[in-house]
Amino acid sequence: MEITTSGRVTVREMTAEQIVTAMIDAIERKDLDAAVGYMSDDIEYDNVPMGKVFGPDGVRQALEPFLARYGSVEWRILHQVASDDVVMNERIDRFEASTGWAEIAVVGLFEVADGKVRLWRDYFDLAAATSALSQR
């Protein structure tokens, strides 16, 4: 969105990659209101080793208590590719606790339709994630 000097709002279409990146940026800020704004009403969030939730409220309920445990959140995108409405990334998701940072290697798949994320699927090793998070 862009506001011109005349006060008119001009909306520019975002690419699927820009939408996913903006959603991740909002999650890193722990701004779940902004993050769910990038999601479709029927989003499927599949945290593969843990299970699926549906809809923006389901995603919020899954993320909010988890993110609240940590002071800072950083999702370092190592590689990201997009083809039409599909975005894939390889990330290191980092969570800062009082004793230091926990890091989890994640691969994410996102499908965007009508300018909103409708599918978000994260793949990671549950045992490695549990171990990293339990040490923090």
Half-sphere exposure of 47 (CA within 13 A, CB side): 11
Per the listing, tokens 């793949």 go with 123
Q: How does pLDDT run across 15-36, given as a tens digit for each residue?
A: 999 999 999 999 999 999 999 9
pLDDT computed for residue 66 by the predictor: 92
Residue 90 pLDDT exceeds 80? yes
Mean pLDDT of all residues in the chain? 91
Q: Give yes or no for a contact between 123 and 47, defined as CB atoms under 8 angstroms apart.
A: no
**Number of domains observed in the structure of the chain:** 1
Q: How does pLDDT run across 30-88, given as a tens digit for each residue?
A: 999 999 999 999 999 999 989 999 999 999 999 999 999 999 999 999 999 999 999 99
For the whole model, what pTM was predicted? Answer: 0.88
Residue 9 pLDDT exceeds 50? no
CATH code, domain with 96:
3.10.450.50
Q: How does pLDDT run across 94-121, given as a tens digit for each residue?
A: 999 888 999 999 999 999 999 999 999 9
Helix (H, G, I), strand (E, B), or coil: what is residue 66? helix
pLDDT computed for residue 8 by the predictor: 54
Q: Give yes or no for a contact between 52 and 46, defined as CB atoms under 8 angstroms apart.
A: yes
Q: Give yes or no for a contact between 96 and 73, defined as CB atoms under 8 angstroms apart.
A: yes
CA distances from 106 to 46, 58, 136 (A): 13, 20, 18
Which residue range is the domain that position 62 belongs to? 2-134
Q: Give yes or no for a contact between 36 and 113, defined as CB atoms under 8 angstroms apart.
A: no
